[in-house]
Amino acid sequence: MGHYVDVEKNVQLFVEDLGEGQPVVFIHGWPVNHKMFEYQMNELPEKGYRFIGIDLRGYGKSDKPWGSYDYNTKADDVKKVIDALGLDDVILGGFSMGGPIAIRYMARHNSHKVSKLVLMAPAAPVFTQRDDYPHGLEKSGVDDIISNLQSDRPAMLEEFGKMFFAGEVSDAYAHHFHSLGMEASSYGTIHSAVSLRDEDVRGDLSSINVPTLSLHGRKDEICPFDFSLELEKSISDFTLVPFENSGHGLFFEEKEKFNQELLSFFNK
């Protein structure tokens, strides 16, 4: 079942809402949408959980305004969805760019209605290198991505897709995954890349006061495994599960382990 939720004047977000039970809210990564979690939405409702997948502004079936692709606005959008659906005892999950958005939500909204946090290959605490942070891309690398998006977005996303998985995926799946990125607006994709380049959630980590799970592929070339090691230093109740055979796309590459680790954490 799909809902549209008003988050500001003339901006509605699409939300996939399946099953009954404790709600699990999924925030997708750049530049796709909630359909990346297909293999979780197939299973979680069967296990007694309510799957809720949000298409962020600019992505999927949601409205695509010109501006406001910063983490604060996206975190506020998530709160408006949680409140509009009347959710409580939420398990909040963020993949890649969704990771720092989930972290920002926890800090900015004081863990509102959230009882557990799941980070999946998070683009956090910082996606790009700083003087005091040696991990991730240099900022100039994201500038190159933005330039390539402006010149040939389909080709850039195809190259990005090749970096996503450590092993081979079928041509059919690669085409499907590429199509999810093409559903997004070009400008939302670019503006979100600017947020990934410039934002920093290190100051938010101390406010996370719920059990937190991070699932991360050791072969991740987009959000290095070191990101989760950095998070582990600053989040008090933190469990890190490495995926030895996965890159960034661990939700598909090791989907059975991925789903089992989610369910084990949910059931604790």
Tokens of 232: 């582990």
The yes-or-no verdict on residue 1 having pLDDT over 90 is no
Domain boundaries, position 228: 2-266
Q: What is the pLDDT of residues 75-95, one digit of tens each?
A: 999 999 999 999 999 999 999
pLDDT at residue number 74:
98
Distances in Å between the Cα of 225 and the Cα atoms of 37, 74, 110, 218, 263 are 21, 24, 27, 5, 22
Give catalytic status of residue 175 as yes or no: no
Q: How many folded domains does the chain comprise?
A: 1
Give catalytic status of residue 220 as yes or no: yes
pLDDT band for position 67 (50/70/90)? confident
Give catalytic status of residue 198 as yes or no: no
Q: What is the pLDDT of residues 99-146, one digit of tens each?
A: 999 999 999 999 999 999 999 999 999 999 999 999 999 999 999 999
Q: Which residues contact 144 (CB under 8 A, 6 or more apart)?
A: none
Q: What is the pLDDT of residues 3-49, one digit of tens each?
A: 999 999 999 999 999 999 999 999 999 999 999 999 999 999 999 99
Interatomic CA distance for residues 85 and 242, integer angstroms: 33
Interatomic CA distance for residues 218 and 245, integer angstroms: 7
* Candidates 77, 220, 228, 246; catalytic one: 220
Q: Of how many residues is the chain composed?
A: 268
pTM above 0.85, yes or no: yes
Average pLDDT of every residue of the chain: 97
Identify whether the C-beta of residue 112 lies closer than 8 Å to the C-beta of residue 159: no
Query: What CATH number does the domain containing 41 carry?
Result: 3.40.50.1820
Distances in Å between the Cα of 15 and the Cα atoms of 3, 34, 94, 101, 111 are 5, 8, 15, 17, 20
Distances in Å between the Cα of 93 and the Cα atoms of 67, 121, 143, 168 are 24, 11, 28, 26
Q: Give the β-pairing of 212-217 and 90-95.
A: unpaired
* Candidates 62, 96, 214, 246; catalytic one: 96
